[in-house]
Amino acid sequence: MPLIQPRTLKGFRDYLPSVMIPREQMMGVARDVFRSFGFAPIDTPVLEYLEILTGKGSDETDRQIYRFEDNGGRSVGMRFDLTVPLARFAAQHIGTLGTPFKRYHIAPVWRGENPQAGRYREFVQCDFDTIGTESVLADIEAVAVINRLLEQLGFDRFTISLNNRVILTGLLEGLSLADRTVPILRTLDKLAKIGFEKTKTEMCSVAEISEEQALKVLALAGCDGDADSIFERLPEITGNNEMAATGIERLKDIYQGAVASGVPATRLKVDVSIARGLDYYTGVIFETTLDDLPAIGSVCSGGRYDNLAGLYTKQHLPGIGASLGLDRLLAAMEQLGLLPNASTPAPVFVAFFDRDYRDDYLQLAANLRQAGIGTEIYPDARKLGAQLKYADQKGFTAAIVAGGNEWSERRVQVKHLATKEAVKVEYQHGQPERLINELRNLIEQ
RNA sequence: GUGGCUGUAGCUCAGUUGGUUAGAGCAUCGGAUUGUGGUUCCGAGGGUCGGGGGUUCGAAUCCCCUCAGCCACCCCA
């Protein structure tokens, strides 16, 4: 019988322990950060009725949805983000939950697009949102959460770019271009990539506006420099439009609040050119890029939306949230060499040295686990060298070697695998304290 | 979805204008070393040359299709 070729689908991948260990750790960090701000966990089904998924979003996102007919003949789709399911969820449950409602959701999503470095068809998003309030405090908090997330994940050099769509909307209103908002935003978003001239040309043709108008829009985006000077120049650039003015004030407020809540000003950048493609953002928007790896794109993006669940309920639900791209971040850490090498989650290795002492090894390991120290026993009584080699490669911190000599002395040998240094430590099954202390010291180093 | 580049051992790659049994380094396994691992030496295993089809006396090498990876567009985490 011919073998079936083992393979994974395009854009999908397996995760080996060496990747899965840091991946799980990252999810744990994200979870702890979210919880520390009072966000509560929720979960929703992978599959939704197709109509739920396709209602919002653009044609492009509709095109990327994995869709099929289920065994009962229903049209269903796999979620392509966590925001649309949240909207449905909120419309269904906000009555019992009450507002403001803060939730986080860490789960995989699926998009049928062409993969590239840092882009997959299946990837995990870590979303957090606050819905049911328009308070600027929620906006500020979102920035603080992003900062804390990346900090806790071990990043130091990153930039959170901030903008407020209202500023641009106000400017466009002043130019009588309110109906062209979407194509203008799309084009504007490319400024950093394709440059001033091309953006101008494209804006004129795609959005069907005059060169004069395009120049005014681009003047806004060209507003560069430190935050204070940008805030100073913006009112003039927007022609003192009233709506734009409130947007500027709001952005300023967010900026100051973020600094007050401990986000270093060096990590914040007011960038009036970022737009974000998704149409549902209506207020502040943000993107986060790694200073050492800008090419990988935004690793955490989000913003404020006026009416999250308008498609599913008449209740007005404003909110703000962002999404951390965990798998993209993981790919970045891989490239930057930030991933640890360990492929074992347990720090202590017990060599199966002598068959006669099998039950002693088992009891010793049980004692260590009881004390919260992860411990693995080698399954075969192979030669010691091979066992130690295995332990070293897997990245254990310490190995315990105990043969007849040790057991008769009521001691065991603790070997620090990185330094090859070994010490003998007193140990009896009823009195594991000295061994536990010794191991804790090694693990903490 | 469209276009470009790539695909040889677990990994990194070599393979001369198509020409005998497709190679190297690292890794793995065994031994030197029956109670102590990252060095050294000796030896071994491992490849349907991504897959399928075609041209040819003969294909890793040329052609077509397909799958996958990377890049650009699009979009985005």
- Report ipTM (2 d.p.): 0.82
pLDDT at A143: 96
| Structure token digits, residue A289 | 């890029």
Residue A57, pLDDT score = 55
Ordered strands of the A47-49 beta sheet: A47-49, A75-78, A67-69
Point out the nucleotide closest to A401 (alpha carbon to C1′).
B36
Q: Helix H segments across A189-241?
A: 191-194, 196-206, 211-221, 227-237
Distances (CA, A) of A424 to A33, A60, A392, A409: 41, 65, 19, 10
- At A191 the pLDDT is 74
Bases of strand B lying below 7 A from some protein CB: 1-3, 28-30, 33-38, 48, 67-77
Taking C1' of B67 and every protein CA, the nearest residue is A10
A128 phi/psi in degrees, rounded to 5: -140, 140
How much helix, strand and coil, in percent to the nearest 5, is found in chain A? 45, 20, 35
Structure tokens, A242: 């009233």
Strand partners, A105: A127
Report how far residue A82's alpha carbon sits from residue A220's, in angstroms, rounded to the nearest whole number: 32
The residue that minimises its CA distance to C1' of B68 is: A10
Instruction: State the pLDDT at residue A278.
Output: 63
Between the CA of A6 and the C1' of B28, what is the distance in angstroms?
22
What is the rounded distance in angstroms from the CA atom of residue A148 to the CA atom of residue A439? 31
Q: How far is CA A154 from CA A149, A228, A275, in A?
A: 9, 29, 28
pLDDT value of position A58: 62
* pLDDT for A48: 93
For residue A322, the model assigns a pLDDT of 94
Q: Which residue has the least CA–C1' distance to nucleotide B29?
A: A386
Cα–Cα dist A396/A412, whole Å: 17
The pLDDT of residue A342:
67
Task: In whole angstroms, give the CA distance from residue A30 to residue A153.
Answer: 8
Q: Which amino acid is at A124?
A: V
Cα–Cα separations (whole angstroms), residue A279 to A59, A185, A364, A386: 11, 9, 60, 59
Q: Which helix (H) or strand (E) segment is A322 a member of?
A: strand A319-325
Give chain A's residues under pLDDT 70: 1-4, 56-60, 276-279, 337, 340-342
Beta carbons of A172 and A181 less than 8 angstroms apart: yes
The nucleotide lying nearest A186 (C-alpha to C1') is: B75
Report all structural domains of chain A as residue ranges with CATH numbers, in order of start. 1-157+291-340 (3.30.930.10), 165-266 (no CATH), 348-444 (3.40.50.800)
